[in-house]
Amino acid sequence: MTRALGQHTLRIVSELGDFAVFTTRAFTAAVGSRKLGRRVLRAIYEQGVRCLPVIVIVGLFTGLVLGLQGYYVLNRFGSEGLLGTLVSLTLVRELAPVLAALMLVGQAGSALAAELGIQRNSEQIDALETMGASTHAYLISPRLIAALIVFPIQTTIFALVGLYGGYLSGSVLLNLQSGVYWSAVHNAVGPQDVRECFTKAAVFGLLTIAICAYNGFNAHRRRTSTGARAVSASTTRAVVFSSITVLAADYVITSLLVNQP
Amino acid sequence: MSAADTTTELFLDVRGLHKRFGENVVLAGVDLAVPRGSVITVLGKSGTGKSVFLKCLAGIVRPDGGSIRFDGRSLNAVNAAARAEFRRRCSYLFQSNALLDSLTALENVALPLEQTTQIPNREIRERSLEALRQLELDKHRDRYPSQLSGGMQKRLALARAIVTRPELVLFDEPTAGLDPIRRNGVFEMIVKYQRQFGFTAVVVTHDLPEALVASDQVALLDGGRMQFQGTPEAFSLSADPTVRAFRDSAGALRDTITALRRGETVTSKEDL
């Protein structure tokens, strides 16, 4: 029992170390890599443009629900005028970075893990290694750089669409004056909130895409499955670990930033 | 000439290579001597570790023991510079071709030059187009690998392998899954371009007739060891029981089928 626990702990520590080396190598390998810009643009397209519809749809419904729930709760205290404050702070500080990251993990992250897993299975990554190319510079670095650009943009879009959703349910459906709603939004959101939102988006982007890339890239190292099952298991693991990491990192960042002026 | 004398003249010198996966010993001391500019074919039954051997040479699989010397320099795990130089001067043709399926034929061929050299983009394009022309694929340069036939994919993989002008090319089962006509075509292609570019070739296959015609030397891997290395003529005349069993496998099949047709009971052979 103790031995098994020790072995399990060692395996986790070893994998965390391996993950740290993997991510660091991806950034260092990017220096001087040819046609990196083109690959970053392609990754931005995959993570950004292709994921935009889902971000807009989820953002809109999140805002609609927040507007509805918030209106009826605030109405009990006669404070409907604070609906804009509630929707904007909830979205900017928490829901936009977290939900946008979870949506991006579900779409771009899972696709990345599966693509790398298939490339590993079909020896495409081995081919890159035998020709002396840096697999990290070619496959991983562009995705990580793109994530640092795309996640904050997608989070901003999510928050803006969410705010509009809150306006639709609060003002258009429930007749709260639009001026009251938008002025509450304007007064509530400060630079600190925006900074917290972007910090979270960038950290979530880096962590989730690195986790998804790591799992797909190392699909062949799975002990319990091989071939197509290994790709499927790696993709599932990538999505589950990324989602948990988003929530855990959200707590850590919030606890570090919440009391800052 | 003693072994010590020949060592300095060998382009690739493999001694006592060991590799095991768990309890399964795949390579149990494999030796192979490859002279510069020659075509050497490593023969063996399926599952004898031919591909593992080639992957050990290419550095995809790390051997447990033994030594590999390339052009006089050791390629052990700590000698990163020698391994990097080996990769620069060597190409590997995968059994599955391992073409990047999201890149066009031209992009696939240009990839090794783009990623490993500082050659200007225009020259990369010219060299890649030239390699495609040599392999008669220039009309298909904008197609993706999935849009090409099996034979074309094989030629595309060879174009990618030779575009860097390597001195050593490792071929892993280049004729796997091909019909006899295409098999001949692949061996013809290997010999033709080997003569044209002068690279040294190590080919792993189990196609005996083609190997005997196309190779300068053949080697037989069996039981985790190299049981034979010599000229095709010596292989054809060898009295070694393992060599004879491999060489006579076609005749053995004919005898077995004839016996089965006659209704005789035939004892099944070892692992197929």
Where do we find the tokens 């901003």? A156
Residue B241 has pLDDT above 70, yes or no: yes
pLDDT digits (tens, 9 = 90+) for A95-116: 999 999 999 999 999 999 999 9
pLDDT digits (tens, 9 = 90+) for A145-158: 999 999 999 999 99
Residue A174 has pLDDT above 70, yes or no: yes
Nearest CB to A34 within list B60, B114, B160 = B114
Q: Under 8 Å CB-to-CB from B210, ≥6 apart: which residues?
A: B175, B183, B184, B187
Mean pLDDT of chain B: 86
Nearest CB to B98 within list A34, A35, A124 = A124
Q: What pLDDT was estimated at residue B120?
A: 93
Backbone angle region of B213, left / alpha / beta, with phi > 0 → left and psi within -120 to 50 → alpha: alpha
Q: What pLDDT was estimated at residue A37?
A: 93
Shortest Cα–Cα distance, A32 to chain B (Å): 10
Question: pLDDT exceeding 90 applies to what percent of chain B?
Answer: 50
B267 shares contact with chain A (CB less than 8 Å): no
B134 shares contact with chain A (CB less than 8 Å): no
Q: What pLDDT was estimated at residue B78?
A: 67
pLDDT digits (tens, 9 = 90+) for A47-68: 999 999 999 999 999 999 999 9
Shortest Cα–Cα distance, A134 to chain B (Å): 7
Residue B24 pairs in a beta bridge with B21
- The band of B7, judged by pLDDT with boundaries at 50, 70 and 90, is very low
Residue of chain A nearest B54, judged by CA positions = A130
Amino acid (1-letter code) at residue A83: L
Residue of chain B nearest A35, judged by CA positions = B114
* Sequence ranges of the domains in chain B: 8-238, 243-272
Q: How far apart are CA B152 and CA B159, in angstroms?
A: 10
Residues of B within 8 A of A32 (CB-CB) are none
Q: What pLDDT was estimated at residue B187?
A: 86
- The band of B175, judged by pLDDT with boundaries at 50, 70 and 90, is confident
Q: What pLDDT was estimated at residue A95?
A: 96
Q: How far apart are CA B5 and CA B10, in angstroms?
A: 10
Residue B197 has pLDDT above 70, yes or no: yes
Cβ pair A132:B111 closer than 8 A: no
Q: What pLDDT was estimated at residue B2?
A: 38
pLDDT digits (tens, 9 = 90+) for A32-49: 888 899 999 999 999 999
Q: What pLDDT was estimated at residue B189?
A: 82
Nearest CB to A123 within list B96, B111, B164 = B96
Can you list the positions of beta strands (E) in B112-173?
168-172
Question: pLDDT exceeding 70 applies to what percent of chain A?
Answer: 99
CB atoms closer than 10 angstroms to residue B196: 10
Distance from the first to the final alpha carbon of chain A: 48
Residues of B within 8 A of A46 (CB-CB) are none
Closest CA to A184 of A92, A54, A246, A251: A92
Cβ pair A132:B94 closer than 8 A: no
Q: What pLDDT was estimated at residue A190?
A: 93
pLDDT digits (tens, 9 = 90+) for B50-99: 999 999 999 889 999 999 999 888 887 667 788 888 888 999 999 889 99
Average pLDDT over residues B118-132: 93
Q: How far apart are CA B136 and CA B155, in angstroms?
A: 8
B8-238 belongs to which homologous superfamily?
Answer: P-loop containing nucleotide triphosphate hydrolases (3.40.50.300)
Closest CA to B52 of B7, B99, B95: B95
